[in-house]
Every structure is written in structure tokens, then in C-alpha cells.
Structure 1
Amino acid sequence: VTEGRINLTFRCKTKETDGEEEHERRDQWLEQMIDGAAPDSQGWSAASHSETGNVTNAATTTAFNDHSVFGHGVKQGDIPTDQKIQFLAKTNMGAECYCAAEIQEILATIVMESDTGGSTKLDDWHVVAQPLGMDGYVACCCPTDHGENHDSIHKVKTTLLQNLRSAHHLLQYHTRLDIQDMVTEEFPEPKLVDGETLYQYVKKRLVDGTIVIQSLVNLKEKGGTFRTTCERVGGPHAFRGPDVEFEAGGAMSEFYTWCKPKMEDYDVNVRVDVIANVVVIGTQLNVSDLSKDRHFMKFRNVVTIKANLAYAIVRCAGIQPGMSIADPFCGSGTLLLEALEVYKGQLKCIGLDVSRKTIQGAAENAVAEGYNSEVCHFICSDARGLRRHLGDESLDAIVSNLPWGIKTGHNGSISDLQTIYEIFLRTAWYSLKDGARVVLFVLRGLQLTRIVRKLGGRYRLLSVNVIRTTNNLPCLVVIEKLAVDQVRESVKGQLAHFNKYVSVSSELYEAIHMETINDD
């Protein structure tokens, strides 16, 4: 180094020192946060829980059943015995319920023409989220008697590829393997299984016919090329993603001798994804990620939410054509543009952001998509200006990807995320119509839900879903504005009724029944 300087930090402390304990605390913050919690892949929804904290159980059950959230109630786990997995939709872990709900809607629109001239719907297909423990996947299952060339299979494939918005990839399913089955005397634990062992296992299953890669079989007459792609999540593993691509691809190349491996300009892309101790093998049917380049973005913010998650957020808001919606932290406008595309431009959208450059870029994006300022309007303001710019009870829904950083606002004037969340929710309440929803994508899900409970008389918590994005675990939170604080009004009414039966001064009455609290 000839110029500048290098800063080196050494942790030369014993395990007993306070400094080392602090390092350990920081390294293990997630483990400490979830200490004592039973692992559960299910998102929380009010439809399956009676506790709310602001109304009685009987009242909440009725209210929540009338206000179900998109994605609630989808089938999860086991595959029906008379069904087989035909396709897998690959999405974010935790977002499987939204993807499954969308696929169910798409299947309901497919009509098959019969030989007699009539038409039938695909009532014999099933959709299962996280099938057989495969986190991040949704299975589209057909009856076991459907052959590979059944008309409905081709129809479902083309329709999903043309319409699916909540997934990254669509796969032709081949098989599911368990690394636990690959352990040997040399490698007695799944975490010790290496790439060579994986190769031997896959090659053996190809030879005995347990694994059949139909897309490669179809290339037998004319020949062709293929590549193997791997996404490895979880672990620990004794191999990396490229090792899986090399070893599994090598086994396939040796068995299907008419196919040649090729990294670019290939005919078939076989995915061999490793999710913890599960190996999922399927042929990717789409060329590029279904969630990318969906909108023509002339301006892209530093951090932009993926379009598939934007779709889930928009659908959870319960939006209908003709409604007015807002995003108080709009960034480049992805959420609003997704909403306009889903509802064919039949919305009134308002975006706010504290950055003038960002607002100008978002407006350019909207114009590039064909939406003028009458349809999609942007305002340079922070979230505190929501009521000032839009007025009271003017919005049918709010959707937003809240800030994930530590500081925001002009000159860091609001430096605490908790402050941002609470000020935003208090301000937004006035601009929302009664029963309107707020759908938020937020990094600090525990903190936000605690604030919602603190404001329990103003909002009803409908659902909370943890979703994996790259290496973070944000939450998709759905809440609903309450027109009145039912518990508060009930208590005040009872106090007013029984007040005539007690004799206390107004000062004492106020001291006893004051409702101001200090909730840090």
C-alpha cells in the first residue's frame, strides 16, 4: 500500500471480557431473538387466531372471516394420493401462500374444450404450498392418470407462463431427494456429504430409473444441449452451488449421452436446487426470472422491491377497480405500477417520497408505462404530509415498503425506525376510509406489530408473514383501520351509565379514570 491507510481491528480479548461478550451477543442476535420459539413456517393470520387485543373474541371471529387476506387458507404440505406434482412454481420462502392463491385463480380461468363440443374446467387439479417440505415452492398437481402429453398439462403450462406474477420460475417437476439418504459410513451426517457423493447418488438413481429427466429424454432423437443451475440455501453443506451444478450435471451428461452440457445458448435448463437437506430437480420452463423487467423503469431506486412481492402486497390490500391507493414511501414507484397493471389502470394512485430526485424518477417511470398524473400522481413529502396533501378519509388502501435503514428524512431528522413506524401509522389513520387496509413490507416485523398493538383501538391486525429476501427476513404485515375503538367506547359508556351511582369530585373522577399512559 503506497497511499491511503488501512484500519485493522483486532479482537485480542479473552472470553471473560465484556468486549468479547458483546461480540458474541451481536453474532448471536437472531438466535437470542427466537430463543424458546417453536419453528413454524406458517404466517400469522387473524382468521386462525381469536386473540386481537382490541375487541372480543366473538366479534373478531366474525370480522376476520369477513375480511380474509389473500393467500389465507391454501393447502400446504402433503400431496393428495390420487395426484402427482406436474409443475413447481419457485418463489420467496414465506411467500408460498400468495403464489398458491394466484395459481388457484389462474387454474379457475382455464377452460378445456371437450371432444363433444362442450367445455370443462380443471376441477381435478390441486395446488399445494410448500409441498413435501419444499420451502419456497408451490406444487401444481394433476391426476395420476394424466400422461406427459395430456392436453390439460400443456394448457396449464402455457397459461401459467403467460400470467404468473408471484413467482420467480416455473419448473417441470422431476423429483425430490433427501440428503439424509446420501449419508455413508465415510460421511455419516448430511452436512458432511460432499459433491462426489451427490454425483454417485444421482448417477445411481438415473441408472435404476428412479430419476427421469423427461426434458432430456425428449432430446434423444434430435440431440441438444443443456445446463444445470443450482440455488443452494440453508445448510451447512460440504459443497457449494457450483459443485452441485458440476456433479449433478456430470451425472446427467454421462447418462443422457445425446445431450451435451453448455453454459450459454442451451436448449434445456435443469435446476438442481438445494434447500437445507432437500434437493429439488426440475426443468426451468421460463427463460428469465418472471419477477424481473416487468415494468419499464427509466429510473431505478437504490433498493427496489421485487415485482413478485409487490404483487403479493397489492393483492393483500383488498383493492378493487376505482379505488384510491397511496404509497407514502414510494421510491421508484414499483408498488403503484404493479397495482395499476394488475387492475388495468382503473385506480387512482398517489406516491410520496422525501427525495425530489426519486419522485421525479418515479413520475418518469409512470409516464413510461402510459400513466399520466391524473392516474398516478407523485408528491415530494415525507409520510407526515399524508394527511396534509390528501385529506381525511380519502384513501381505500395504503401499500408500502417501509424504510429498512437506520436513518431517513431530511438531515436524519427522524433517526429511529420505531418513530417512523408510529408517526406514519398515526398519521395514516386519518387519511384512510373506515375498513381500509394498510399493507406494509417491513424489516422489523416484531417492532411494527408491537406498535400496531399499542394503537389497537385504531387498527386491527389481520396477518403477519415472514418472507425471505436474499439474506434478510422482513415481514408482510396486513392491518385494517377501525372506525371506532370499540373497547374504549364501551368502557366510557359504562362509566357514564354508572357515574350517577357514585359520589366523587370531578378531579378525583379524572384521576381515577384518566387514560393517558407512558408506553415506551
Structure 2
Amino acid sequence: MDLDRRARARLLLRTTPGAVDYLFEEVRHLAGDITRRPDGLTLDWDGPLRPLADVRYFSGAAVVLDDVEARAGDPDGVFAALDAPVRFRVAPVGEERWDLRDLLSEKFGWVNDAGDWSVNVERDEREGLIAEIGPLFYPRRFGELTRAPASTTPVVAAVMVRLAKIEPGQTVVDPCCGAGTLLVTAGQMAEPGELLGFDLMDRWVEAARENLDARRVPCVVARGDAAALPLPDGSVDRLVANLPFGKRVGSHAGNTRLYPALLREVRRVLRGKGRAVLLTEDKRLFRESVQRTHGLRVVKEIEFTRPGAHPSAYVVTSRRS
């Protein structure tokens, strides 16, 4: 896809509920006529797509097909920026599915290819027919990562890194790094001085190293216990972590032991003006554990909605900061 070619369209940007405000702030100076949705934005785009493709707060983009023929045939539309011939599929959208397939194939020369498409025509509850643009999906823009079963989603990771407010040269630690999604995102979005990750399982330590190496993000990853970090007191500026929710990973009973111990470590290793951003769905236990940890406080909570889950990212700072 030619991201530097001028393209115009009404676009739907999909994101994780909870990340919409961050997406809006990122694109409001780039686009016109923006409308918020619980799961994203619709906006008018007119210009090169590269500035949009660089935004980390949306998972995918689609063209709103208010007029299929006009949008498909627009020489300045998004489809004209795709590699030719355009490869597409039409999802089950009703009786018009086959007519749409034939129109796009016969009139515009697109190639119907359900297994290797750059355009997927489907129906959105609010916008009607839309065409998802394959090259604008998050993994196509920023690269695929090996994932652990409960890895942080890329959009949530981006919001967490933004909440961490990492400054150039600061020491950043993920004490429960899994496959390293947060470490990769922190290394790409900010300019940390030292980036460190720990995990109890060797398989995820190795996966994190592979992900970081593939993205050329300098980081030291080692086997380590989040409840007993091998770090000196007051040595960390920023700490980010996706904690075990007690569902797919760990258990609530395990969290009753882990959370207080981890938070004591957070208090110990953070510098005076340090900041931690911690994601969990075991919310009541987490809040109670913070309240019982002398010297820490929650200053912000952002709730996300994911399939079958409603985790929150908590920003935790020292009471003396």
C-alpha cells in the first residue's frame, strides 16, 4: 500500500473501548468531521495515509461504503492507494453479497480472494456497509508479535505506555513481562534509558527476547519474581505490567498473595517521583492492596472492554510524589 499517496474517504477507526479518547486526541488535528463511538471514531480523511498509519490507538480502519461504486471507483480514494489488482472478499452481508462480489470483480477488476485479501466488505451496525483495509490493521502497521495466552493487546499497551509518561533516559521495568508486548511498545513509543523485563517462566523470557530483538528494541530480559525483584531500592522511574487477572493466568487466591507482595516491591524500587501503570481485572483486590500498602496511591483508572473482560489500568504513584 502506498501510504504517501493522497487518499480521501469517510473512515471508521476501530479501537478498544477505553482508548477512544486517546485515539481522538491523536487524530483530531489530522482529520475532519470526527464522530465518537464507544468502540472508535468515524472521520473524514483527505491526505496521505502515513500519519494515520503511525497512530497506535486503533486496531483497524475501514472505508464507509455509503456509495459502493463511487468509493470503489474514486481515483483519489483509499482503494487507489492499494497494490493492484485489489484483492478482496465479501463477508455474509445479506442478499446483496453476491451482487457486490460481481460488481467489484467485473466493473473494477478486483480479484475475489477470500484467503489473501486487502479489502474485506462487511456490515457495521451503525455505518452500514464498510470495507476493512488489511494493510491498516495494527499487526500490518507495526509487525506481528509472539503472544502469551493473556498478552496485553497492542492498543491497551499503547495507552498504558502513554499513561506511564516515560521521559528520555528513564529506567523502565515490566516485572511480569510475558512475551514482552509492553516492553516492545515502551521501547518504540518512548526513549527509555534502561528497559528491563522479568518473568517466572523461561518460555516467556525467551519469547520476549525474540520479540524485542525482532523490533530492535534494546532490553534486558531475565527470569525473575515480581514479588522479589532483583533491583536496588529507588532504582526505577517507571513500571508497567499486565498482572495476572486470576482467570486465564493465576487465580484469585494466588493474587491475594501476589498483589500485596508486588505492590511492596513497587513501593521499594520506585524513585520518589516514580510512576507505575498496572493492568488487572481483579479490581477490588487490587484497590484494597494499594490502600494497605503504605506510601502508594491510585491517581487514575482507565477501564477497557475486551471480549469477556473489563480490565482497568491503574496509575499508581508514591504518596510523597
- Cα distance in 1 for residues equivalent to 2:176 and 2:118: 42
TM superposition score normalised by structure 2: 0.79
- Cα distance in 2 for residues equivalent to 1:439 and 1:426: 15
Q: Which deviations, in whole Å up to 9, do the C-alpha atoms of 1:254-287 show, x marking residues without a partner?
A: 877735783435574334223xxx3543333343
Deviation at 1:215, TM superposition (A): 2.5
**Aligned pair count?**
303
Q: Give 1:80's aligned residue.
A: none
- Cα distance in 2 for residues equivalent to 1:223 and 1:385: 56
Deviation at 1:293, TM superposition (A): 8.0
Q: Which deviations, in whole Å up to 9, do the C-alpha atoms of 1:65-114 show, x marking residues without a partner?
A: xxxxxxxxxxxxxxxxxxxx83321112222122223324xx4xxxxxxx
Q: Give 2:107's aligned residue.
A: 258
> Cα RMSD between the aligned structures?
3.5
Whether 1:164 aligns to 2:74 is no
Q: Which deviations, in whole Å up to 9, do the C-alpha atoms of 1:406-431 show, x marking residues without a partner?
A: 5978xx9x942233222211221111
CA contact (8 A) 1:350 1:376 kept: yes
Query: Which secondary structure does the structure 1 equivalent of 2:305 belong to?
Result: coil
Select between 434-443 and 310-319 the one with higher mean Cα deviation: 434-443
Q: Give 1:41's aligned residue.
A: none
CA contact (8 A) 2:85 2:111 kept: no
Give unpaired runs (5+ residues) of structure 1. 1-84, 108-121, 143-152, 176-210, 230-241, 485-520
CA contact (8 A) 1:395 1:432 kept: yes
Q: Give 2:4's aligned residue.
A: none
Correspondences of 1:321-332 after superposition (within 5 Å): 321-332=168-179
Q: Which of 291, 294, 299 is 2:142 aligned to?
A: 294
Whether 1:335 aligns to 2:259 is no
Q: Give 1:357's aligned residue.
A: 203
TM superposition score normalised by structure 1: 0.51
Q: Give 2:90's aligned residue.
A: 228
C-alpha spacing 1:447/1:154, structure 2 compared with 1 (3 Å): same
Give unpaired runs (5+ residues) of structure 2. 1-8, 76-83
- Cα distance in 2 for residues equivalent to 1:470 and 1:304: 14
Q: Which deviations, in whole Å up to 9, do the C-alpha atoms of 1:452-483 show, x marking residues without a partner?
A: 3444x623323222222233222222222222
Query: Which secondary structure does the structure 1 equivalent of 2:262 belong to?
Result: helix
C-alpha spacing 1:167/1:280, structure 2 compared with 1 (3 Å): farther
Higher share in strand: 2
Q: Give 1:445's aligned residue.
A: 283
What is the one-letter code of the residue matched to 1:332?
A
Deviation at 1:248, TM superposition (A): 4.9
- Cα distance in 1 for residues equivalent to 2:285 and 2:142: 32
CA contact (8 A) 2:89 2:101 kept: no
Whether 1:272 aligns to 2:123 is yes
- Cα distance in 1 for residues equivalent to 2:152 and 2:247: 18
- Cα distance in 2 for residues equivalent to 1:481 and 1:158: 39
Deviation at 1:324, TM superposition (A): 0.6
Identity of aligned residues (%): 23
Q: Which portions of structure 1, spanning 4 or more consecutive aligned residues, are displaced by more than 6 angstroms?
A: 222-225, 254-257
Whether 1:135 aligns to 2:26 is no
- Cα distance in 2 for residues equivalent to 1:467 and 1:248: 35
- Cα distance in 1 for residues equivalent to 2:216 and 2:88: 39
Query: Which secondary structure does the structure 1 equivalent of 2:198 belong to?
Result: strand
